[in-house]
Amino acid sequence: MTKFVVESVSKYGGRIGLIKNVERLPDKTFKTPMLLYLHPQLSREVLELSGFELSKDFAISLPVSNVEQMEKPLEISGKGISDFWALKESLTFCSLKNGSIFSPSASQDKDSVPIYRKSERLNITPQRYMKMMEVFKPDFYTTLADGDSFKDCPKRRVAKASEKSRRFYEESVQLKKSSAVLKNSFMIGTIVGGFNEFERRKIVEEMNKKSEDVDGYFIDGLHRNGHEAAEIDVTSLKEIVSSTIAQLPQEKLKVMSGAYLPNVTLELIAQGIDLFDSSLVNLVTNANRAMVFNFNINKPAKLFPEIDLLDSKYKDDFKPFLEGCSCLACRKHTRAYTNHLLTTHELLGPMLLTIHNLHHYREFFATIRNAIASDKLKELTELISEQYQEAEGKLYYERKIDNKPGKYKENLIAKDFI
């Protein structure tokens, strides 16, 4: 069965881990810290032509809120969801929500967590969720939890979310044990509770009672996805993550989801988070921008981290997004062409941006792994932080809400939400 082992811990922060013995992919080893390609919208052919080595170390994340409708066909086919997606050699992760899409607070009930598809509310219970995991057959998945909380969330909401999630966790463990398909699966316990250490501790204590029941931890409920993660208060984030991690068994996998900026991601990695998703790639792409931040510590030039390709100053700029970048978009196309595609709302525009941004972010993660292995995470963090400090307040991420639950205002809390 799938195993996670910590290979080395750098005294300068961060650790290298290995995911191996994956039942579907017995010959492969995946190195952490790792980036999961979230809800892939580039087809297999596009990924291959763009030079992504699918057979090597590709990993994807498929949120239930995007793929719930696939349960029926997959039940009939009997194959897993990565096969359906034509990415069967990719390590496949499932969780409840898409970290790149802002998910406004919704009214809650005791026995389920809502997701929205085409404005339709679906109440997901632990039974339904685990049934989907049986059908989707991901290589690892998080347990269902109520992560609908954020920085200044009312205390009562956090308490209710935490109580519900504890119940869901227990149910998930039972469901897993009694399922022939999931018995040996890699299950990641979801820890919620907003920024409330007390509530988080309660759920962690529940998990620690029988720590062999769970193979890793998903630190959730800190933001409602989308722009909220990119704009999160870093000091309080670091505090709550560090206090949570301190209570967890060190050797197990730690996962976080959402569009944390690269400097924040590095802080989280330094604390021992192993797995992230590509939410930020989607946010930057939705803002019509290309990531160009420099992560080369041997040539520590400081760049403004993103360029806005919709800006008319690029309309006759025939350079690549980033000089020296080896992605398909930079090798074969120009800023000017992309500016034209974005101006005319051509689908190829966001495609080229996704190709570049995903490539850049995956390269960034490869650099992080090298930096940890060579005890240079600190230098890398400094280089990245300086570039993002420079950009503070200048990078705006669109409030993208795909599944609108009726009318919505930014911080509106539904009456029956608490």
Residues of each annotated binding site: 325, 327, 330, 356
Kindly state the DSSP code that residue 144 receives in the 8-state scheme: P
Q: Would you count residue 350 as binding another protein (CB under 8 A)?
A: yes
As a whole number of angstroms, the distance between CA 132 and CA 322 comes to: 41
- Using CB under 8 A, pick the residue from 3, 177, 302, 332 that binds another protein: 332
Q: Would you count residue 304 as binding another protein (CB under 8 A)?
A: no
Nearest to 149 by CA among 42, 224, 75: 224
Show contacts with another protein in window 187-246 (CB under 8 A): none
- Minimum CB distance to another protein smaller for 177 or for 332: 332
Q: Would you count residue 116 as binding another protein (CB under 8 A)?
A: no
3-class state of residue 349 by DSSP: helix
Residue 317 near residue 336 (C-beta atoms within 8 A): yes
- Minimum CB distance to another protein smaller for 348 or for 373: 348
- Minimum CB distance to another protein smaller for 41 or for 243: 41
Closest CB 342 distance from another protein, rounded Å: 11
Residues 6+ apart with CB under 8 A from 14: 33, 269, 270, 272, 368, 371, 372, 377
Kindly state the DSSP code that residue 28 receives in the 8-state scheme: -
- Minimum CB distance to another protein smaller for 67 or for 159: 67
Closest CB 93 distance from another protein, rounded Å: 18
Count other C-beta atoms under 10 Å from residue 239's C-beta: 13
3-class state of residue 31 by DSSP: strand
Helical (H) or strand (E) element with 209: helix 197-209
Tell me, what amino acid is at 18?
L
- Using CB under 8 A, pick the residue from 8, 29, 69, 123 that binds another protein: 69
Q: Would you count residue 362 as binding another protein (CB under 8 A)?
A: no
Binding residues for Zn(2+), as ranges, are 325, 327, 330, 356
Angle made by CA atoms 309, 338, 51, in degrees to the nearest 5: 110
Stretch binding another protein (CB under 8 A), from 15-23, 80-88, 223-231, 272-280:
80-88
Q: Would you count residue 44 as binding another protein (CB under 8 A)?
A: yes
Residue 405 near residue 51 (C-beta atoms within 8 A): no
3-class state of residue 48 by DSSP: helix
Q: Would you count residue 49 as binding another protein (CB under 8 A)?
A: yes
* Residues contributing to the site for another protein (CB under 8 A): 40-46, 49-50, 66-67, 69-70, 72-73, 76-77, 84-86, 118, 315-316, 318, 328, 332-334, 336-337, 339-341, 343-344, 346-348, 350-351
